[in-house]
Structure 1
Amino acid sequence: MRYIALLFIVASCSFSFSQNKQLLYGFSDIPQSLMINPGGEVKNDWYFGMPLLSHIHANVGITGSTVYDIFANDGIDFNTKLQNAVYSMGSRDSFSVNQQLEIFSGGFSLKNTLGKKEYLSFGLYQELDFIAYFPKDLAILALEGNQNNIGRSFRANNVNVAAEAISVLHVGYNKKVNDHFTFGVRGKIYSNIVNVNSTKNEGRFVTVRGQNNFYDHIFNLDLEARTSGLANLKDDDSDSNSVVKDLRKRALLGGDLGLGFDIGLTHQLNKQWSLDASLLDVGFIRHTKDIENYKVEGDYVFEGINPIFPDTGNGQTAEEYWSDIETNFEDLFKLDTTATKYTTWRPVKLNASLNYAFGKKIDDICNCENEEDIYQNKTGLQLYAISRPRQPQLALTLYYYRRLFNGLQVKTTYTIDPYSMTNIGLGMSANLKGVNFYVMADNFLELRNVYNAQSVSLQLGFNYIFNKNED
């Protein structure tokens, strides 16, 4: 049982989903690129996304040991590989999940009312975000036990978990001030579906030689878990229909609410060089409904239970012995349950890039460059950062974009991040009679062995677009 628990910890903390969308960022042929930079370039007069199909995003990555490291048929003893995996990973390795599904979206130019260079976009999407840091001390304790670690202090602050499922209603405004500067802002209303977090834990556990028994187990703990929207879901009286109804209500702004915003800009330095940047999800959610918080705080000493197994059979049985241990633990640790309101902050994301465009389109009639400033190629360097409970996560991307011909564009990226030093991605956007389809994936080099892959990502969607320029 101990090895099963340990294996679950190691395997789960080997997988990580990232929110970085380096392939979509700056891909202005796709309307959803405005969700990453509300101040980005707009290339359509209006669009609407196909409901539930306009943007689907999932991304998996790996820090530390991979599944292949543990289960590979390489002749190395499984216990040895499991031990190597535990000791090779650090307390900053994390297991995180991020998934997004766009429910509906749309956008249109305001040229008929406010001017030709303004654009309004809107939509509703669902997002799941989860992160749990690798509890290295607990993993070592599960692997080796405390008998071989007498006097060693195991830290409780390794326990660090945050999870939420939310829906986001948003409205964005984009304005091209002049040929050199464009800015945008997006307002957001968050609706909490489920929230669980335990990120500020402290304390330690140590085993020493005892006086009344073989060992004394000493705990100094300050642990807290906060939950919102979970109590009703695990209620014994809830059936599947009521749970689905409750979740649907919360997704449609019926849960705990919060506010946030995105800002972005694009600065055209000259005809070929440009700078852009965006700051996303600067916001919070105030949790006031269906709250259950749990807290354990204080110093505890557990001396164990003296087993009495006489030969006559009149003493304590093994079942009674373990029952006494369970009762003693329940009596020892005083779990406080409260309904205190709390606030969570969204993980803030930063994007910035320097871009260079080149290669004007050749006019087939005169065999010369088109007079319009439409370049067929673009390359650049992009920085990405996201705030996380322990430390920000960073990524650096080098990209190349190419317009192959009217209605077909491709983008390839090379990304360095905490999960991989060789992440190569490819994205494509195609327009056919007003229907836009895009698909993007990365880390192609590691698809030969998915179990040993450091990260794999997928984005796809369908939109109906009316383009400003039918070039």
Structure 2
Amino acid sequence: MRKLILVFTLQLCLFSFSQNKQLLYGFSEIPQSLLQNPGGKVTNDWYVGIPLLSHIHFNAGVVGSTVYDVFADNNVDFNVKFRKAVNSMDSNDFFNINQQLEIFSGGFAFGSSYQKNKYISFGMYQEFDIIMYFPKDYATLAIEGNKSNINRLFDASDLSVSAEAVTVLHVGYNKKVNEQFTYGVRGKIYSSLANINSTQNKGSFVTVPGENNYYDHIFDLDLKLQTSGIASLTDDENSDVSNDIDEFKKRILLGGNLGLGVDLGFNYQLTDQWSVDASLLDVGFITHSKDVENYAIKGKYTYNGINPLFSEAENGQTADEYWSGIEDELDEIFTVDTTKTKYTKWRPVKFNASLNYAFGEKQSKDCNCTIDDTGYQNAVGVQLYGIKQPKRPQMALTAYYYRRVFNGLRLKASYTVDSYSFNNLGLGMSAHIWGANFYVMADNLLQYKNVYDAQSVSLQLGFNYIFNKK
């Protein structure tokens, strides 16, 4: 059983997901790019997203050893591969799943009849996010035991996990002030479907030579687990799956634990060809007051271990009484305090910024002049991304090349350096056929030949109907 738990934990920690959308950021022909920068450029008069299909996002990555390193059929003993994988990781390695599904969306331009320089965008999307740091000391203790680690202090704070499923209702405002400057703001209402948070753990465990027994086991623990939206679903009296589904439906439409947030962004045209932009996303919080159940273990305790002799047998103590006494001692160590106190959690704030250079106007073969006014055919640039995580920020740096093949087809290629790899190549495409728009984007294309050994894999796609500006 211990090995099964370790295998499951390792698989989770080998898969690491990122919320970075470097291919979508700045891709102004795609309306969903405004979710990455509410102050980005707008190239359409109005649009409507196809419900449940306008934006589907999922990406995965690997920190340290891959699944292939552990389960490859290479005639190496599984235990050897497993120990090597655990030993190569540390407590700052993590897995983070992020998935988004847009439920509905739309947008429209307005203003004077000759210059529609304002834009409203709106919609609702569902998002699931979980981050769990690799519990290095827990894994080492489980594999090696404490006999070979006498006097070693194991850190209880290695256990750090946070998970949340939310729906987000949002409205954004974008204004083109002049030919150089555009800014935007987006307000958000969060509705939390379920939340699990255990990121403030402290304490230690150590085994030392004892006096009355071989060893003394010293616990100094301050462990906390906060949950909302979970207790009612796991209640033994509520075993009907249909009731759980109905409960989730209520929470989707602002029936869960609520919170507020804001996105900010801008775009500034330095020259005709150079531009800079930036955005700050999910500056907000959620207050958890409904269906809350929290658990805590706090205190210091020294356990002298199991006495191998039935010291009270001569006084009539039975074996059952002996083991029951040991069980009571262990229960005393790990007394769980359960409360229903409400709590507030901040959303993971994200930051984007990019510097861009456009070039290559389409020239006429008959004269030394441009033949259309749709702008430059190419662009290159660099983008910096960051997200606040429980232990430390996660960063990524991307270089990209954008190409307008013709009016109905745009391509974007990227090279990204992040926590997972130094060879992440991505490609995105946006196609327009009359008013219909379809886009698809994928990362780490070089490693698709063996997904199990890939450092990261990402996919985004969507369908919209767009009415472009003349």
Offset of residue 422 of structure 1: 0.1
Judged with a 3 Å threshold, the aligned counterparts in structure 2 of structure 1 residues 289 and 115 are, in CA distance, closer, same or farther, namely farther
Matching residue of 1:216: 216
8 Å Cα contact 1:308/1:315 also seen in 2: no
Matching residue of 1:163: 163
CA–CA distance in 1 between the matches of 2:331 and 2:365?
82
Gaps of 5+ in 2: none
8 Å Cα contact 1:305/1:321 also seen in 2: no
* SS of corresponding position for 2:423: strand
The reply on whether 1:203 has 2:203 as its aligned counterpart is: yes
Counterpart AA for 2:85: A
The reply on whether 1:299 has 2:300 as its aligned counterpart is: yes
The Cα offsets for residues 359-402 of structure 1, whole Å up to 9 and x where unpaired, read as 11234775732362610101100000000000000000000000
Q: Which 10-residue stretch deviates more, 114-123 or 458-467?
A: 114-123
Offset of residue 21 of structure 1: 0.1
Number of residue-to-residue matches in the alignment: 466
- What is the root-mean-square deviation of aligned Cα atoms in Å? 2.0
CA–CA distance in 1 between the matches of 2:191 and 2:55?
19
Offset of residue 148 of structure 1: 1.1
The Cα offsets for residues 306-328 of structure 1, whole Å up to 9 and x where unpaired, read as 34589x9x9866x8876654443
The Cα offsets for residues 138-177 of structure 1, whole Å up to 9 and x where unpaired, read as 1110110111111111110101111111110000000000
The reply on whether 1:55 has 2:55 as its aligned counterpart is: yes
CA–CA distance in 2 between the matches of 1:366 and 1:169?
52
Offset of residue 465 of structure 1: 0.4
Counterpart AA for 1:214: Y
8 Å Cα contact 1:307/1:321 also seen in 2: no
Judged with a 3 Å threshold, the aligned counterparts in structure 2 of structure 1 residues 451 and 371 are, in CA distance, closer, same or farther, namely closer
CA–CA distance in 2 between the matches of 1:301 and 1:308?
20
* SS of corresponding position for 1:242: helix
Q: Which 10-residue stretch deviates more, 22-31 or 144-153?
A: 144-153
Q: Which 10-residue stretch deviates more, 111-120 or 224-233?
A: 111-120
* SS of corresponding position for 2:360: strand
Judged with a 3 Å threshold, the aligned counterparts in structure 2 of structure 1 residues 439 and 316 are, in CA distance, closer, same or farther, namely farther
Matching residue of 1:413: 414
CA–CA distance in 2 between the matches of 1:167 and 1:105?
13
8 Å Cα contact 2:310/2:322 also seen in 1: no
Judged with a 3 Å threshold, the aligned counterparts in structure 2 of structure 1 residues 320 and 467 are, in CA distance, closer, same or farther, namely farther
Counterparts of residues 5-404 of structure 1 (less than 5 Å): 5-111=5-111, 116-238=116-238, 239-307=240-308, 325-363=326-364, 368-370=369-371, 372=373, 374-404=375-405
CA–CA distance in 1 between the matches of 2:25 and 2:98?
17
CA–CA distance in 1 between the matches of 2:450 and 2:71?
13
CA–CA distance in 2 between the matches of 1:302 and 1:450?
46
Judged with a 3 Å threshold, the aligned counterparts in structure 2 of structure 1 residues 207 and 265 are, in CA distance, closer, same or farther, namely same
* SS of corresponding position for 2:80: helix
Matching residue of 1:424: 425
CA–CA distance in 2 between the matches of 1:370 and 1:354?
27
Counterpart AA for 1:401: Y
The reply on whether 1:450 has 2:461 as its aligned counterpart is: no
8 Å Cα contact 1:300/1:332 also seen in 2: yes
CA–CA distance in 2 between the matches of 1:286 and 1:309?
53
Gaps of 5+ in 1: none
* SS of corresponding position for 2:422: strand
* SS of corresponding position for 2:51: coil
The Cα offsets for residues 188-210 of structure 1, whole Å up to 9 and x where unpaired, read as 00111101101111100111223
Task: Tell me the TM-score normalized by structure 1.
Answer: 0.95
CA–CA distance in 1 between the matches of 2:58 and 2:267?
27
Work out the percentage of aligned pairs sharing the same amino acid.
Answer: 62
Counterpart AA for 2:447: E
CA–CA distance in 2 between the matches of 1:46 and 1:79?
58
Judged with a 3 Å threshold, the aligned counterparts in structure 2 of structure 1 residues 56 and 371 are, in CA distance, closer, same or farther, namely closer
* SS of corresponding position for 1:330: helix
CA–CA distance in 2 between the matches of 1:333 and 1:344?
26
Counterpart AA for 2:261: G
* SS of corresponding position for 2:116: coil
CA–CA distance in 2 between the matches of 1:369 and 1:142?
69
Offset of residue 183 of structure 1: 0.3
Counterpart AA for 1:161: V
CA–CA distance in 2 between the matches of 1:134 and 1:364?
61
Judged with a 3 Å threshold, the aligned counterparts in structure 2 of structure 1 residues 24 and 335 are, in CA distance, closer, same or farther, namely same
Judged with a 3 Å threshold, the aligned counterparts in structure 2 of structure 1 residues 103 and 32 are, in CA distance, closer, same or farther, namely same
Counterpart AA for 2:171: V
Offset of residue 212 of structure 1: 2.9
CA–CA distance in 1 between the matches of 2:118 and 2:372?
25
Q: Which 10-residue stretch deviates more, 212-221 or 226-235?
A: 212-221
CA–CA distance in 2 between the matches of 1:436 and 1:253?
30
Judged with a 3 Å threshold, the aligned counterparts in structure 2 of structure 1 residues 201 and 87 are, in CA distance, closer, same or farther, namely same
Counterpart AA for 1:436: N
Counterpart AA for 1:156: A
Task: Tell me the TM-score normalized by structure 2.
Answer: 0.95
* SS of corresponding position for 2:164: strand
